[in-house]
Amino acid sequence: MPNSFTLHPSSFRDPSGFIFEKDGVLYRQVNKIFKDDFDFFISSGCYANLVKQGLLIPHETIQENLTDSSDYYLTLKPELISLISYPFEWSFDMLRDAALLTLQLLIESVAHGLVLKDATPYNIQWHNGKLIFIDSLSFEKYNEEKPWIAYRQFCENFLSPLLLMHYSKLPLQQLQLAYPEGIPLAITKSLLPWRSKFSLYTYLHIHLHAKVSAKGDTTDNKTANFSNQKLLNLVSSLETLIGKLKTPGQQTAWSAYYNEAAQRDDYLARKTQIIKGWLTNLVDVKTAVDFGANDGLFSKLLASHNIKTIASDFDPICINNLYKEIKSKKEKKVQPLILDIANPSPSIGVSNTERTAFLKRAKVDIAIALAVIHHLAIGKNIYFAQVAESFQQVCNYLIIEFVPKTDEKIQLMLNNKKDIYDHYTEEGFTQSFSHYFKIEEKLPVGSSGRVLYLMKKHG
């Protein structure tokens, strides 16, 4: 059919428009109902200002009704985001920066006579080494008789998880997976310690906000005098509060992993040399995912070969440290992500299609899994075949390190558990992976007893 298109499964909540795919290209339709607001967004100079500052994803305007919709007003072709990520995959500082970006967008829009009508982190993505807002239909004309419509959404999606992590001193990203539309104010209030009430802005934005909301006396839709200055004062108080929040934890058992690995004779140097050689020959590799990235040593190696890389690790502190490093150095090729490959992000939302599972989102040319297999097979009791099946969903090439059972790290793991892993052999490993991959090359990693494999997926 000439006008066939696919509606994006997460784009259905806003009557202003929707995202769709046609002939392999992603578009955004602006509906007639949003015509006046969108025209003002463009004519006011707000769009041009936000794009110039790198705060909003740019788009092309296409004067063609690609959906044959009676609601059609305009078609936009936004610049493509390579990987959509979700807030429960972000580190603390990344979520905090996303919150501050949202408030900055609100300030910029108010200066142009507009207001941000949405305050969801799902409208923010990682693009070319920085966070950027992706929804051009989130800006509407500012009405001083109405309070900020997205205030509660902001508090539940940004302030709630940040405050809970700040006070507990624990990474609690999984709470955002449990509450994808924001952690309810009442729950946040009940989980925060009593002393949090002595913080004026925490009391106002969470405790008092929750109390008023529980009475059903919210002002979200009431007519009130909510001047430009009142809104900016609200934003200022939120910025002040968020700016004072401290990152939970600084070090874990894995934070100094590569410092220790560098002490093992020629292990790290030889591993780096082998991978560099393979990458040099793989000229068609442009995208990658690093499973178990830790501090990003090998993710940065991939990036140095001009390979756009997802640096994933289950340790939120390692990923947070990497995020801060990437931010300070303005590294454009590495995207840090919290991910446990033993339990990757699932599909959630309406019909379990609104937010896509990681293994379906991440389609890359190459994956690397270094010093990971023993943690999965022995630490998590996952069979080699299951690991191989997961990896083949993501990549065409695979660099994976086999750690023999005699390795001191595995022996430490077996100190506190019964050795029931007779199947954990290099032969069993290669047999299981050969169902999905062809072994292109294998090389020993110095004198460590470990072996690096370069594999290519069948077909």
The DSSP annotation for 115-167 comes to EE----GGGEEEETTEEEE--TTSEEE--TTS--TTHHHHIIIIIHHHHHHHH
Q: What span, in angstroms and rounded, lies between the C-alpha atoms of 23 and 4? A: 9
Residues (pLDDT < 70) of the chain are: 1-3, 217-225, 250-265
User: Which of 362, 344, 293 lies closest to 321 in space, CA to CA?
Assistant: 293
Fold of 257-457: Rossmann fold (3.40.50)
Q: How many residues does the chain have?
A: 459
- pLDDT (0 to 100) of residue 1: 45
Tell me, what's the pLDDT at 13? Answer: 87
What's residue 219's pLDDT?
Answer: 47
**Of the candidates 250, 242, 253, the residue with the CA atom closest to the CA atom of residue 171:** 250
Cα dihedral sign for 168, 85, 364, 428? positive
pLDDT at 459: 86
Which residues are bridge partners to 31 per DSSP? 72
- Give the sheet arrangement for strand 72-78, strand by strand: 6-7, 17-22, 25-31, 72-78, 59-62
pLDDT for the residue 342: 96
Picking from 116, 195, 203, the residue whose alpha carbon sits closest to that of residue 154 is 116
Give tens-digit pLDDT for 156-175: 999 999 999 999 999 999 99
Angle, vertex CA 113, rays to CA 111 and CA 117, nearest 5:
100
Q: pTM for the complete prediction?
A: 0.94
d(Cα 100, Cα 96) in Å, to the nearest integer?
6
